[in-house]
Structure 1
Amino acid sequence: MPPTGVGIIGASTSGWASVAHVPAIAATPEFALRAVSTSRPSSAEVAAATYGVPAYHDHRDLIAHPGVDLVVVSVKVTEHFKLISAALNAGKMVYSEWPLGNGLAEAQQLADQAAKAEVRTVVGLQGRYAPEVRYARDLIRDGYLGRVLGTTMVGSGMVWGGEVADPGQAYWFDNANGATPLTSATLHALDPLHTVLGEFDSVAANLVVGRKQATITTDGTSVPVTVPDQVAVIGTLSGGAAASIFYRGGVSRGDNFRWEINGTDGDLVLTAGWGNMQVAELALAGGRGTDGAVKPLEVPASYLDGVPAEVSRSAAGSVARLYRQLAWDLADGTRTVPDFAHALGRHRLIDAIERASGTGTTQILA
């Protein structure tokens, strides 16, 4: 089959797409980069020279490109609804970065629109494809832990600290913009947790705005913080295990990511120096039976899904594995990658967490 043509909206040469999507597509022969778009003519000109494909400063030109089968939307979440809607209206497949929309209502509309258009969709919840996550899932399935009793996860959002260098990053601190420690870092980590251990049956939460002000270091000005930068979630998983998740904004001087899973017969621990686990280089350790402590576990090479080792160790690694899974879906007629319907379910979880925190009551999830 000829490769699926990809067009990336938001493909500046210094953004997320440049370090994740472009190398992931290059490492996945079932896809080929055909066009990119940016927000300005000058940046489009640089992108064209860098990537060697047509570059536009109007997203409509990229969507209309006859060689583009899959439109990737890699921009601020406040722009998602307009761009994704335009691509769906054109009948193109769409890969949206997470979150899908700015809030549950937008996500619902986009999921409904995608279902009506009957096109393939993908949402960028790639953390589930980390080799360490998938190996841990298989170990648990094969009885390494016995019966799972509970799990704890603690992480750092890395951004949402007390300061930023670029005034353009101040949008992170406004809850109305939809890019928060809950919607971004926490949900990127919760999706793999649920993939491994099952969904929440019930959830309680506490969302706290810890820092009231943030500083823009280039000029010393302050901006108000309205995003809850301290996220505490507890719940019971479908298999009966207890779960506790805590994410904080900024960086910790201690552990920036630690996920422990405890069972009747053993324990698994995933750690990383970077709190955003969807791009972190994870380490997996385990112990069981008479072991007095956990020790590093080597992940079999098969879990790389054929992604070259140098790509696998980078921010593009799990993105490339998501593309590989999508390629298999398209070839086999299966639907395994997280799509807009899945994203809608995750937005509903966010809504349940926010309601649980606002009311102080436990939310029972269907």
Structure 2
Amino acid sequence: MSRTTVGVGIIGLSSEESWAARAHVPAIRAADGYKIVALSTSNRESASKAAAQYDVPAYFDNADELAQHKDVDLVVVAVRVPHHRELVSAALNAGKQVYCEWPLGNGRADAEAINAINTEVQGFVGLQGRSSPALRYIRDLVRAGHIGEIVSTTLVGSAGAWGDKIEPRLVYGLDYRNGVSMLTVQFGHMIDGLCWCLGEFSELSATLATRFPLVPRTDTGELVEKTIADQIAVSGLLTNGAVASVHYRSGSSSASNFVWEINGTKGDLVVTASHGRLQYSDLKIQHGPGNGGKLVDMFVPSAYRLVNGCAPTDGFYTLAHAYTLMRKDILNGTSHVPRFADAVLRHRLLDAVEIASSTGSRHSYR
């Protein structure tokens, strides 16, 4: 790149209900040094309408033309997962940097094929929880030995959806074949955050269950078959020897929707939130001396907050931080935002969870 303002082309920016419209547009506008210069949708009419609505100068009805546009430096792929491999590959082959929403592909094979493309440009993946100020602070506390050596960790979280009913926009995620489910999306984000802070699993056991195999749509009441897991339990050893136990469940709980304990030889960290979607949760952090001592609130230092004009309660807050850090990576060659290789590792973990559950055995993935 010869310019400091990153020109963004968004594939999938259409209606106000799309994830690109609800999250990427406000995140890009909140981060410094970006301009949305192009968009593409599946047809010319919707592309033209979106371009007028979001004040985007160039619009297309196909992703190839967007990727070839001279002002596009970064292609953002924000469409349904089964299309990720084709669209990311086209953008990389056009010589453009790519940010692809998570999951990177419809399964591990897709992710590995994308990562194998030989290109000099950078590929970023939307595991934006790693850009969260709170999660970056937690990781730094652990790495600095604030609670000593990690002995164990326990996490219980609720996905907020995928339970005994289904919103219309999530119906396609009930079909395992589409590659977007509670396991791949919400659990994938959550377990990535845990592993990024504490280390990968050296081995794991798992139980997957579908407790609501038929669920009504919230708009029509029509019953829809669910072929994905809505209860996920994983336990095992991390590479540092710590014992980890995770239970991720569908819907919401009247008691607590996110509680994460990290137990060390010198004390404990307790992380809570109002919901279990770690990638955009406003996390509350507490520290205790261990042995039953009183918990004390900890506050994320201001240096971790990189974006003005938005708050942790905004749904695009962590994504705005991801864009801020990604611009540094693009311009300076740094490594703040996860790459495609990180996505492949996470896909391998999800594969390991499914294999361990189906075989009843311990499994490794590294």
Alignment gaps of 5+ in structure 2:
none
Deviates more, 1:22-31 or 1:223-232: 22-31
* Other-structure match for 2:262: 261
Residues 260-302 of structure 1 deviation map (CA, whole Å, 9 limit, x = unaligned): 1111221111111122110112111111268732122111100
Are 1:235 and 2:261 an aligned pair? no
CA contact (8 A) 2:84 2:105 kept: yes
CA contact (8 A) 1:24 1:311 kept: no
Q: Distance in 2 between the 1:349 and 1:140 partners? A: 22
Residues 332-361 of structure 1 deviation map (CA, whole Å, 9 limit, x = unaligned): 222342111111111111111111111111
Are 1:98 and 2:95 an aligned pair? no
Q: What code does the residue aligned with 2:166 have?
A: V
Structure 1 residue 311: deviation in Å? 4.5
Q: Distance in 1 between the 2:364 and 2:32 partners? A: 44
Alignment of 1:266-285 (within 5 A): 266-285=267-286
Paired residue secondary structure (1:363):
coil
* Other-structure match for 2:328: 328
* Other-structure match for 1:9: 11
Q: Distance in 2 between the 1:289 and 1:223 partners? A: 47
* Other-structure match for 1:76: 80
Q: Which runs of 4+ in 1 moved over 6 A?
A: none
Alignment gaps of 5+ in structure 1:
none
Paired residue secondary structure (1:235):
strand
* Percent identity (aligned): 44
User: Judging changes above 3 Å, is the alpha-carbon distance between structure 1 residues 276 and 196 closer, same or farther for their aligned structure 2 residues?
Assistant: same
Structure 1 residue 188: deviation in Å? 0.2
Paired residue secondary structure (1:195):
helix
Q: Distance in 2 between the 1:139 and 1:217 partners? A: 42
User: Judging changes above 3 Å, is the alpha-carbon distance between structure 1 residues 145 and 88 closer, same or farther for their aligned structure 2 residues?
Assistant: same
Q: Distance in 1 between the 2:44 and 2:257 partners? A: 39
State the TM-score, normalized to the length of structure 1.
Answer: 0.94
Q: Distance in 2 between the 1:143 and 1:291 partners? A: 20
Q: Which among 147, 150, 175 is matched to residue 148 of structure 1?
A: 150
Structure 1 residue 312: deviation in Å? 4.4
CA contact (8 A) 1:213 1:223 kept: yes
User: Judging changes above 3 Å, is the alpha-carbon distance between structure 1 residues 81 and 290 closer, same or farther for their aligned structure 2 residues?
Assistant: closer
Structure 1 residue 21: deviation in Å? 1.4
State the TM-score, normalized to the length of structure 2.
Answer: 0.94
* Other-structure match for 2:351: 351
Are 1:340 and 2:343 an aligned pair? no
CA contact (8 A) 2:27 2:319 kept: yes
Structure 1 residue 49: deviation in Å? 1.8
Q: Distance in 2 between the 1:145 and 1:348 partners? A: 30
CA contact (8 A) 1:173 1:226 kept: yes
Residues 113-150 of structure 1 deviation map (CA, whole Å, 9 limit, x = unaligned): 2xx12221000001122111111222222332122111
Paired residue secondary structure (1:159):
coil
CA contact (8 A) 1:267 1:286 kept: yes
Paired residue secondary structure (1:99):
coil
Are 1:29 and 2:35 an aligned pair? no
Alignment of 1:1-366 (within 5 A): 1-12=3-14, 13-53=16-56, 54-113=58-117, 116-166=118-168, 168-288=169-289, 292-304=293-305, 306-308=306-308, 310-366=310-366
Number of aligned residue pairs: give it: 362
Q: Distance in 2 between the 1:51 and 1:109 partners? A: 33
Paired residue secondary structure (1:362):
coil
